[in-house]
Amino acid sequence: MKRLTVVLAVVTALALAGVATRADEGMWMPQQIPQLAAKLRSMGFEGDPKAFADLTGQPMGAVVSLGGCTASFVSPDGLIVTNHHCVTGALQYNSTPERDLLADGYLAKTRGDELPNAPGARVLVTVRVTDVTDAITGNLDPKLTDRQRYDAIDRRLKERVAACEQGSGLRCSVPSFFEGLKYFEIAQLEIPDVRLVYAPAEGIGVFGGETDNWRWPRHTGDWSFYRAYVGKDGKPAPYSKDNVPYRPKQWLTVAAGGVKPGDLVFVVGYPGRTQRHQSYAEVKATTEWAMPRAIRNAEEQLAILEKLTKQDKGLALKVAGRIQGLNNGLTNTKGVLEGLVKGGSLERKLQAERELADWIAADAGRRKQYGDVLPAMQALHEASLKTRERNAALAGLSSASTYLNAAQTLYRLSLQRPKRDIERDQGFQERDWSRIRATQERLQRTIDPTVDRALLSWAMAKAASLPEDQRIDPIDALVGLRPGMDQAEASRAIDKYLDGLYAGTKLADQDVRLGLLEKSTAELKASNDPFIELAAALEPLNQSIREAAKDLAGAYARLRPRYMEAMLARAGGLVAPDANSTLRVTFGQVKGVRARDGLFYEPQTTLQGILEKHTGEGEFNAPKAQLDAIKALRAGAKTPYLVPELGDVPVNFLSTVDTTGGNSGSPTLNARGELVGLLFDGTYESVASDYLFEPVTTRSIHVDSRYMLWTMSEVDGAGHLVKEMGR
Amino acid sequence: MKRLTVVLAVVTALALAGVATRADEGMWMPQQIPQLAAKLRSMGFEGDPKAFADLTGQPMGAVVSLGGCTASFVSPDGLIVTNHHCVTGALQYNSTPERDLLADGYLAKTRGDELPNAPGARVLVTVRVTDVTDAITGNLDPKLTDRQRYDAIDRRLKERVAACEQGSGLRCSVPSFFEGLKYFEIAQLEIPDVRLVYAPAEGIGVFGGETDNWRWPRHTGDWSFYRAYVGKDGKPAPYSKDNVPYRPKQWLTVAAGGVKPGDLVFVVGYPGRTQRHQSYAEVKATTEWAMPRAIRNAEEQLAILEKLTKQDKGLALKVAGRIQGLNNGLTNTKGVLEGLVKGGSLERKLQAERELADWIAADAGRRKQYGDVLPAMQALHEASLKTRERNAALAGLSSASTYLNAAQTLYRLSLQRPKRDIERDQGFQERDWSRIRATQERLQRTIDPTVDRALLSWAMAKAASLPEDQRIDPIDALVGLRPGMDQAEASRAIDKYLDGLYAGTKLADQDVRLGLLEKSTAELKASNDPFIELAAALEPLNQSIREAAKDLAGAYARLRPRYMEAMLARAGGLVAPDANSTLRVTFGQVKGVRARDGLFYEPQTTLQGILEKHTGEGEFNAPKAQLDAIKALRAGAKTPYLVPELGDVPVNFLSTVDTTGGNSGSPTLNARGELVGLLFDGTYESVASDYLFEPVTTRSIHVDSRYMLWTMSEVDGAGHLVKEMGR
């Protein structure tokens, strides 16, 4: 408890003085919260911290996953609130050339108007979390080779999942925590009929666009509403007109007041991935190789896409999601790199690892227990560098081309299907087939030969320029490339090869693609589709890379849990595990931050800022109805959502809670567990915290529930939903 | 005293509470300061306000003009401190391909190393200000026509200046205050031998470049030092090795401490021009026509210059000043436009004018006295709109082409020279000839046929596209243009004409140009220089425009003083006149500002921000010596300039003082009249205050004297100058 005790003492002292200067690290597992009771009480929490450990009680039972985003029930009739940017798929799916829901928003006046969702959409309600560490890693013969260890664990995981799902109607997973030191079995109810109820117009829900993304001050109305539907028997069922609203056991109450600076807030959600427990060498390689590469690649792809879509609005709509994703990742990666290198996080990481090594070296028992871990991890890491250029270029081909990616999925599925289910690779078991199909259906909205070819051509040029010892041999053979080849010559060879690929393929046809989903390898080969042929040619190399990855994972399964054990022993106990898309609780204060020398981010923004930023076009184009409502407010119109101290309705706020991607849509709760906002972003200065938490500058960005309610009541005519939420 | 009384009461109350929320309008004439004694005392001033009225005492006697910039004496040996951006000319003049003083800075180790200045540089010390209103506008026959009125006033002004300068060795001017309601005669000592003593490197003096220009947070070391030299007799004399340092009667003391938030500060200087007393119609035309036009033109010219200089470093150096000027003006104009239109200043201006009209209409006496003024001004304004496109396009030719501008100066001088001096136009009298020559010498460093032709071609294309009723007839005739001409055809005609112009001219030759300065009109014509021919062809039109302007000025001389009288009568008395490049005093507080919703500009920046912004290249490239000194400080090195509350050395600060262009280099003084910094910029949110003062957001930007002294001592080895300043 060493590190946290120190933080706790500081926070307590400052909380009494009304000023806390640090953000609060920790995406806690719900069962850890009761151990933080003292800290919580010092921050003004009056409830029972044990409540957070009860996943089916208040408030935890109300919080659900959308897979990639978080959401929460806000009415007994299954009404769900999440971020606007979490419902983009549903908006696109229901849009037509005549009705652009992304631009105009949508409001179902009655339940009958609530719209079906895109294939694959679902709500996941966590119902049970069980520590199964012993079942997964207990009694493993220490004499196992690394690969045998991997296979044993992999088998146990699959058996565990199968047993959990068998006849329960639940969706189960067994993720690792603390780098394989712990495993928990998570059982979730999966509801596939999730309908679109309400999304504000783009000028509210995406106000600020890419320009404001990751930035403060912020004025984004990033909320939308779904409703979960189930069969008449109350059980999850695919979309059907006859389905009825799901009646959750728990739903959140919207707070009557809101938050003010200094208030304690909780965020409950499903943060995706953090890397705080990586070794220094791994983070260093990320900053020196992976991130600069990712930035370069994103910029190059964006340039290609912008050129292609400049004159073609239809194409622009198709690739809007890809462009948004690339931009989002680009800004995030730049921010992480800046924080790690310039902000000095990498230096601090090195320092911490040196201290860990010294701590191990200082004691004979510790030397015996952990002495080999850091050097062995270092050796594994170094070995992995030898093929990283090739492996990244190979993966780049599939991520550039939707055609190739689809072909590879079809081909690999055909190889896996003949096996017994327990022998199939994770992701290709029977339980995964419906999701694989949904993905193949969904990509119909974005697949485009012009864009695909441009990006695959770009990715192949990368493969062409690989060093001699890291070539992708099947590509060299098929395309006719060789190391050191003249760029123009390579370009001609790639062009010629791509001519054949795109002329011969039928994979852009949804019926053809879905039809191939259930075909055998021989039948796929007989289709003579050139993308299937390419996938088949690449499969042996991909397979060998996966085998090597399994060997490596087996070795890490031997080392990382002990590395983590040493870190935890040194830290003295209560540490939050890295985020892994499982349910977590984080808490902190509503609080501004001195973002840069001379510049202070105030903790709250208001409607005034919308007027300041509104330009009437592009990313800053507030709807006229909203501008009118703001003017009415200026002219003296009354609203319960106005905060006298601000002289305005609050729009967004900052807090010190510890969040990351996947937390989007998470409910923000006050000390009484009531909804006061939705988490939707972090500041640019915070993103490096995914690698090393920076307590001074890290801030999360929330939309204030009062802005949501004001807009629903005064702008969007969604008063019936406000009423359904009991306000 | 109505308006100011209200402000005063508010400021007093808030000052007592330790919080003032408004910036302080008023670029006061020194003689107005004693009337502000109560306000000054409420803000913590303990000295005698009457001191400011004594132009030869402390501190006013120490403050000088550089013509366009302000500066101040800081030692008994004539050492002068001003902004780095005010000595650019001297740095360029002394640079060679081998020694780039702009990039590297300069430090004279001994007085013998102090470098001569560019032609035309001088220091102006204001020694006397006399109210001469009666002599200029008294006893004018009310029956005079507008033109007669103009001529009478013009004659009196010239006589007054001549009498003031006669035998005194002083430079005199008689500017108008309050739109012609008042005239003051200003007598200045002009010292032409001003040498460069010290300028920091670009990485300090221009740190942040165009990116940070007009912006906060700011970290610019915008200071440099000159020294004034005079003949051995103590009288001003041109540069000579035998000259000796000037010994000023007054010089400023550098404060031992610095400022802290809330402190009272004064700025004494020569603000150039504000337009706060323009009518609503005039400001509206500025926002709707002049500013959008200026923005468009600046952007177009910048695009041309950037294309031309991209590959040519020599050319880039030549036009660096023009590019900087265009960028600076562009950002300023955008800021003004934003503040006036979006910020609502224009609306407030309209409101104020309506109130003035109502106030006039409400009383029979006032109706009689002022009733005709606003309608008559409106009519004059509307008449002036009829030729504005043509006049602006014509002026655009001269400002685009240095060749044409020079030719026009030579030609007009030849027309004026034969007249009696008192009959010559202002600017072309004998007293102006040395400045005209210096300008013709100075432009040798920037004149370039490629750049000149590109810009003149652009300006001629503007003339080609003028509407039919506003053509520049001589250009149409010479170039072969006509209204509605096809763009490509016009372009070919312009190209052909420019071929002849640049092939035949010798004006780029300094000897030729200076030789023509004293030639008669006939001799100039005999030179057959095509630019002289163009100037001669344009002269009749220019002359007629000048005559019309004189008619208009005569009409305004009848109306504007009464407009101003009405405004003053309504305001109740103490109002500062618009800036007119004369000596002014402004005061306010060191204070941050909520710049935008959710964003607070802290009042001070520190060395920390230099580390944050430093990229090692381009505009954010702090010198290694400075980075080392900052690191040494972090490692525990001691310095008297560190502020414990900040844990760092302060770099720049914000204040509520009211300043504008021309104030650059002005000393910032504390309540004891000691130097605590230099004014060098205003925030983007402030620039519209040139048209209507915005008390909430207006902030000036200063460099902190402690940053200057720390850099001089710890980075630049200029300890001898610190010592000379008595620190």
Condensed to tens digits (0 to 9), the pLDDT of residues A545-592 reads: 999 999 999 999 999 999 999 999 998 768 899 999 999 999 999 999
Query: Percent of chain B, pLDDT > 70?
Result: 97
Contact of B561 with B180, CB cutoff 8 Å: yes
Question: Whose structure tokens read 């000595």?
Answer: B87
- Domain co-membership, B456 together with B312: no
Is 50 exceeded by the pLDDT of residue A12? no
In a domain, A604, yes or no: yes
Closest CA to B349 of B7, B588, B10, B688: B688
- Beta bridge partners of residue A194, listed in sequence order: A228
Mutate to test the interface with B, among A597, A605, A611, A651 (most CBs of B within 10 A): A597
**Which residue in chain B is spatially nearest to A342 when comparing CA positions?**
B612
Residues B601, B132: Cα–Cα separation, whole Å = 44
Summarize the confidence of residues A189-217 as an average pLDDT.
96
Distance from CA of B591 to the nearest CA of A (A): 12
User: pLDDT category, A241, cuts 50, 70, 90?
Assistant: very high
Summarize the confidence of residues B220-226 as an average pLDDT.
98
Q: What tens digit of pLDDT does each residue of A435-447 get?
A: 999 999 999 989 9
B427: left (phi over 0), alpha (psi -120 to 50) or beta: left
Residues A528, A535: Cα–Cα separation, whole Å = 12
Residues B556, B575: Cα–Cα separation, whole Å = 21
Question: Whose structure tokens read 């042929």?
Answer: A533
DSSP string, A474-517: HHIIIII--TT--HHHHHHHHHHHHHHHHHH--TTSHHHHHHHT
Is 80 exceeded by the pLDDT of residue B398? yes
Closest CA to A599 of B214, B592, B601: B601
Is 60 exceeded by the pLDDT of residue B541? yes
User: pLDDT category, A1, cuts 50, 70, 90?
Assistant: very low
A627 in contact with chain B, both atoms CB, cutoff 8 A? no
- Domain co-membership, A666 together with A617: yes
Grouping H, G, I as helix, E, B as strand and the rest as coil, residue B546 is helix
**Which residue in chain B is spatially nearest to A653 when comparing CA positions?**
B598
Between the CA atoms of B568, B574, B580 and B585, what dihedral angle is there, to the nearest 10 degrees?
Answer: -170
Q: Which of A529, A545, A576 corresponds to the end of one domain?
A: A576
What is the pLDDT, as a whole number, of residue B574? 84
H helix runs in B94-222, sequence order? 101-104, 133-137, 146-165, 202-205, 209-212
The structural domain count of chain B equals 3
Is 70 exceeded by the pLDDT of residue B16? no
Q: What tens digit of pLDDT does each residue of B59-68 get?
A: 999 999 999 9
Backbone angles phi, psi at A324, to 5 degrees: -60, -45
Two structure tokens written together for B374? 């606003």
CB–CB of B597 and A218 under 8 A?
A: no
Residues B294, B329: Cα–Cα separation, whole Å = 9
- Domain co-membership, A535 together with A589: no
- Domain co-membership, A571 together with A438: yes
Backbone angles phi, psi at A388, to 5 degrees: -70, -35
> pTM for the complete prediction?
0.87
In a domain, B423, yes or no: yes
Structure letter (DSSP) for residue A253: P
ipTM more than 0.95? Answer: no
Mutate to test the interface with A, among B599, B703, B704 (most CBs of A within 10 A): B599
What is the pLDDT, as a whole number, of residue A23? 60
In a domain, B608, yes or no: no
In a domain, A679, yes or no: yes
What is the pLDDT, as a whole number, of residue B21? 37
Is 70 exceeded by the pLDDT of residue A19? no
Two structure tokens written together for A62? 């109300």
User: pLDDT category, B23, cuts 50, 70, 90?
Assistant: low
Distance from CA of A646 to the nearest CA of B (A): 11
CB within 8 A of B293, min separation 6: which ones? B392
Preceding amide of B59 cis, omega within 30: yes
What is the pLDDT, as a whole number, of residue B22? 54
First-to-last C-alpha distance (Å) of chain A: 42
- Beta bridge partners of residue B189, listed in sequence order: B125, B170
What is the pLDDT, as a whole number, of residue B535? 98
Q: What tens digit of pLDDT does each residue of A316-355 get?
A: 888 988 998 999 999 999 999 999 988 888 999 999 999 9
A171 in contact with chain B, both atoms CB, cutoff 8 A? no
Nearest CB to A597; choose among B217, B342, B596: B217
Q: What tens digit of pLDDT does each residue of B347-358 get?
A: 999 999 999 999
Question: What is the rounded average pLDDT for all residues in chain A?
Answer: 93
> Chain B, 580-609: which have a CB under 8 Å from a chain A CB?
592, 594, 596-602, 604-606, 608-609
Nearest CB to A596; choose among B598, B604, B609: B609
- Using CA atoms, how far residue A643 sits from A284, A432, A672, A707, B596, in Å, is 46, 49, 20, 11, 18
Catalytic residue status for A664: yes
All residues of chain A having their beta carbon less than 8 Å from the beta carbon of residue B598 are 216-218, 601-602, 604-606, 609, 652
Distance from CA of B618 to the nearest CA of A (A): 17
Closest CA to B39 of B586, B691, B699: B586
Range of the domain at A643: 2-53+582-704
B44: left (phi over 0), alpha (psi -120 to 50) or beta: left
Grouping H, G, I as helix, E, B as strand and the rest as coil, residue A525 is helix
What is the pLDDT, as a whole number, of residue A426? 94
- Domain co-membership, B245 together with B167: yes
Contact of B403 with B531, CB cutoff 8 Å: yes
Amino acid occupying residue B683? T
Choosing from A146, A212, A222, A658, which is the catalytic residue? A222
Q: What tens digit of pLDDT does each residue of A673-719 get?
A: 999 999 999 999 899 999 998 888 899 999 999 999 999 999 999 99
Is 70 exceeded by the pLDDT of residue A8? no
- Domain co-membership, A643 together with A505: no
Strands A604-606 and A675-682: unpaired
Residues A18, B605: Cα–Cα separation, whole Å = 25
Contact of A401 with A459, CB cutoff 8 Å: yes
- Domain co-membership, B343 together with B402: no
Residues B660, B682: Cα–Cα separation, whole Å = 7
Grouping H, G, I as helix, E, B as strand and the rest as coil, residue B108 is coil
User: pLDDT category, A206, cuts 50, 70, 90?
Assistant: very high
Summarize the confidence of residues B205-232 as an average pLDDT.
97
User: pLDDT category, A376, cuts 50, 70, 90?
Assistant: very high
Contact of A311 with A444, CB cutoff 8 Å: no
Closest CA to A245 of A727, A724, A726: A724
All residues of chain A having their beta carbon less than 8 Å from the beta carbon of residue B594 are 602
| Residue B674 CB-half CA count within 13 A | 17
- Domain co-membership, A356 together with A390: no
CB–CB of A606 and B599 under 8 A?
A: no
Q: Which of A519, A551, A576 corresponds to the end of one domain?
A: A576
Residues A305, A303: Cα–Cα separation, whole Å = 6
CB within 8 A of A471, min separation 6: which ones? A390, A483
- Beta bridge partners of residue A131, listed in sequence order: A184
**Which residue in chain A is spatially nearest to B599 when comparing CA positions?**
A601
Residues A573, A2: Cα–Cα separation, whole Å = 8
- Domain co-membership, A510 together with A635: no
Distance from CA of B612 to the nearest CA of A (A): 8
Catalytic residue status for A222: yes
Radius of gyration of chain A (CA): 26
CB–CB of A598 and B612 under 8 A?
A: no
Amino acid occupying residue A365? G
Is 60 exceeded by the pLDDT of residue B297? yes
Distance from CA of A602 to the nearest CA of B (A): 5
Grouping H, G, I as helix, E, B as strand and the rest as coil, residue A120 is coil
- Domain co-membership, B328 together with B397: no
Residues B101, B84: Cα–Cα separation, whole Å = 12
- Using CA atoms, how far residue B194 sits from A135, B43, B453, in Å, is 87, 37, 35
Is 90 exceeded by the pLDDT of residue B571? no
User: pLDDT category, B318, cuts 50, 70, 90?
Assistant: confident
A650 in contact with chain B, both atoms CB, cutoff 8 A? no
Q: What tens digit of pLDDT does each residue of A460-513 get?
A: 999 999 999 999 999 999 999 999 999 999 999 999 999 999 999 999 999 999
Residues B214, B682: Cα–Cα separation, whole Å = 6
Q: What tens digit of pLDDT does each residue of B330-345 get?
A: 999 999 999 998 888 8
In a domain, B603, yes or no: no
In a domain, A147, yes or no: no
In a domain, A11, yes or no: yes
Work out the widest C-alpha separation in chain B, in whole angstroms.
79
A627 burial via Cβ count (<10 Å: 0-12, 13-18, 19+): middle
User: pLDDT category, A21, cuts 50, 70, 90?
Assistant: very low
Helix (DSSP H) and strand (DSSP E) numbers for chain A: 27, 20
- Domain co-membership, A330 together with A400: no
Is 70 exceeded by the pLDDT of residue B623? yes
Residues A130, A136: Cα–Cα separation, whole Å = 12
Query: Percent of chain B, pLDDT > 90?
Result: 88
CB–CB of B599 and A602 under 8 A?
A: yes
What is the pLDDT, as a whole number, of residue B11? 27
User: pLDDT category, B572, cuts 50, 70, 90?
Assistant: confident
Q: Which residues of A572-599 are buried (b: 16+ CB within 10 A; e: fewer)?
A: eebbbbbbbbbbbbbbbbbbbbebbbbb
Q: What tens digit of pLDDT does each residue of A478-489 get?
A: 999 999 999 999
Contact of A261 with A604, CB cutoff 8 Å: yes
Is 50 exceeded by the pLDDT of residue B2? no
> Chain B, 328-347: which have a CB under 8 Å from a chain A CB?
342
Query: Considering only A323-332, A393-402, B602-611, which range has the smallest mean pLDDT?
Result: A323-332
Query: Considering only A86-95, B11-20, B104-113, which range has the smallest mean pLDDT?
Result: B11-20
Summarize the confidence of residues A516-525 as an average pLDDT.
96
Distance from CA of A224 to the nearest CA of B (A): 24
**Which residue in chain A is spatially nearest to B343 when comparing CA positions?**
A612
Summarize the confidence of residues A615-631 as an average pLDDT.
96
Is 70 exceeded by the pLDDT of residue B35? yes
User: pLDDT category, A7, cuts 50, 70, 90?
Assistant: very low
- Domain co-membership, A408 together with A329: no
In a domain, A306, yes or no: yes
